[in-house]
Amino acid sequence: MKNKNFNLFAFLFLFISIQIYCQDRIIGKNFASRSEVLGQNGMVATSHPLATQIGIDILKSGGNAVDAAIAANAALGLMEPTGNGIGGDLFAIVWYEKEKKLYGLNASGRSPKNLTYDYFKSKGYKSIPSYGPLPLSVPGCVDGWFMLNKKFGKKQMKEILKPTINYAENGFPVTEVVSYYMSIAAEKFRNYPNFSDTYMIDGDTPSKGDIFKNPDLANTLRIISEDGRDGFYKGYVAKTISKFVSDQGGFLNEEDLYSHESTWIKPVSTNYRGYDVWELPPNGQGIAALQILNIMEGFDIKKMGFGSAKYIHHFVESKKLAFADRAKYYADPDFNKIPTEYLISKNYASKRRLEINPNLPANSVNSGEIENGDTIYLTVADSEGNMVSLIQSNYRGMGSGMIPPGLGFMLQDRGELFSLDENHFNFYEPKKRPFHTIIPAFITKEGKPYISFGLMGGAMQPQGHAQIVINLIDFEMNLQEAGDAPRIRHSSDQQPTGGEMYDGGIVFLESGFDYETIRNLLSIGHKVSYDLGSYGGYQAIKIDNENKVYYGASESRKDGNASGY
């Protein structure tokens, strides 16, 4: 009997030891999904392996980082239509090695000129609908491609778009995460015009491994590759969009499309513990990440420890303060004087930091007083030292549900983010850019490029950006670990369309935080919950300037990968 018990004990000990060993990485953090990817000549990181490979092929055939980024973005519009496409908008930050300079591009579209606030008021709308023809704004993506290509590109758009045209005509296997989100989208859009013809196979969305084709999109991309920017914003494509939208009761027309133009803008930054973190100014929400970092810089985060209740509490409270300003001030700077420089100043952060109670969560947070208002992400680096941080989206996953016949893509619904409050910075007006959630990011050190990164996912994005920077700098994680680490997402009613936070919101914690942390957060008054799949999608490239080596990292929560050569 004694031998039997001993053998059982030995077996259990060995079994548990093996399980523990098998779950741990040999080096690095045990939550890391894999090692960083290394390469000397170039690196591409996207949320789809085939899009990553297309980017690598473009680099190997003589293209630069911008060419590869456009090619990968085009592929993602086909292969991951649940997050982006040519019916949406685009933002980018480009490190141009020749000039040792960062450029920012705002390729977001404007509201229809013939749709006014009076229309919404006369129909009794309190907010702009999420779907249908009314939340449409001009798709800025294609114009953004041509702006980037004209200023920095080496290849012709015909060659850049060719791989995606081939995949659209001949088909490709649908990946697991995309298949899941397409099935979710079908629940909303199944009965919308042209959805079934464009995105379904024999009456259902494709399952993992099914071969999906989109010949209509292939034709649209071929028109764009042959006729240039005007192939989308005038002629057959523009006329088809305009007629379809009108038939559906909307206002977006040919003139809105043709008059659209993207804007080169200056990225803005804050220095966080010796690293310059760069974002784009409003109408996007990028400066919220800078505001969070400025507030958090005043705390000894490293001493708090990653995953501790103290760290999570201070992060969430900093986020609340930044998002109160986001709800009030972030809007189209052509229609409002946005106090960007003051909002991202150290002086302002020091004042806001005093509002944080270290032992109690705030249930109500006001915007500061101003002195004097789903998505894909990808990044590419090339052998010349150029780096691109690019984000592109339709909003609400696939977009508005509006699919013009025979074109193969869905139009975005960014206009939903306008406010119908006449006193709001983000109040709806014709030919105005709505508040935007999608934001690319970049880090430099001592004037040199360091990391190109982004993390998609609605209001998660600035929270995610700040967490990535903190993971890298305060907690000294490597590029892959910084993205794989469990994330925090705080949710409240602080929306750019109006509304205030009155109950403190909810702290959503990804799996990986221990129960003691959760209990400690609950004990001081936080509402804590768990929500699957709302923590964003991360890609990143780091450059070792001394050894001239690129490091790549890709989101373990998505289907994609980083690849170098």
Helix (H) or strand (E) holding 44: strand 43-46
Residue 379 and residue 366 share a domain: no
State how far the Cα of 274 lies from the Cα of 106, in Å rounded to an integer.
27
Residue 378 and residue 368 share a domain: no
User: What per-residue confidence (pLDDT) applies to 318?
Assistant: 96
How confident is the chain (565 residues) per 10-residue block, as mean pLDDT? 45 39 67 95 98 98 98 98 96 98 98 97 95 98 98 98 98 96 94 96 95 98 97 98 98 98 97 98 95 98 97 97 91 92 95 95 74 74 98 93 98 95 94 94 97 93 97 98 96 67 83 94 94 85 96 94 97
Could you tell me if residue 6 is inside a domain?
no
Residue 544 forms beta bridges with which residues? 549
- Who contacts 442 (Cβ-Cβ below 8 Å, separation ≥6)? 93, 95, 102, 267, 277, 278, 387, 389, 449, 451, 452, 453
Instruction: Please name the residue ranges forming H helices in 298-364.
Output: 301-304, 309-329, 340-343, 346-353
User: What per-residue confidence (pLDDT) applies to 502?
Assistant: 58
Question: Where in the sequence is the domain holding 113, given as residue range(s)?
Answer: 37-285+373-478+539-565
CATH for 100: 3.60.20.40
Task: For residue 375, indicate whether it is catalytic.
Answer: yes
Residue 137 and residue 161 share a domain: yes
State how far the Cα of 251 lies from the Cα of 400, in Å rounded to an integer.
14
Residue 106 forms beta bridges with which residues? 91, 263
Question: Do β-strands 441-445 and 275-279 pair in parallel, antiparallel, or remain unpaired?
Answer: antiparallel
Residue 310 and residue 240 share a domain: no
User: What per-residue confidence (pLDDT) applies to 12?
Assistant: 38
Question: Do β-strands 506-509 and 528-529 pair in parallel, antiparallel, or remain unpaired?
Answer: parallel
Could you tell me if residue 21 is inside a domain?
no
Could you tell me if residue 16 is inside a domain?
no
Residue 530 and residue 545 share a domain: no
Residue 458 and residue 524 share a domain: no
Picking from 52, 44, 37, 49, the residue whose alpha carbon sits closest to that of residue 382 is 44
**Which two tokens mark 281?**
């100014």
Residue 384 and residue 305 share a domain: no
Residue 419 and residue 380 share a domain: yes
Residue 238 and residue 116 share a domain: yes
User: What per-residue confidence (pLDDT) applies to 30?
Assistant: 86
Residue 169 and residue 113 share a domain: yes
Distance linking the first and last C-alpha atoms of the chain: 61
Selecting among 375, 379, 497, 517, the annotated active-site residue is 375
Could you tell me if residue 49 is inside a domain?
yes
Could you tell me if residue 23 is inside a domain?
no
Could you tell me if residue 17 is inside a domain?
no
Structurally, the chain folds into a number of domains equal to 2
Residue 346 and residue 232 share a domain: no
Residue 252 and residue 278 share a domain: yes
User: What per-residue confidence (pLDDT) applies to 232?
Assistant: 98
Could you tell me if residue 2 is inside a domain?
no
SS3 523: helix
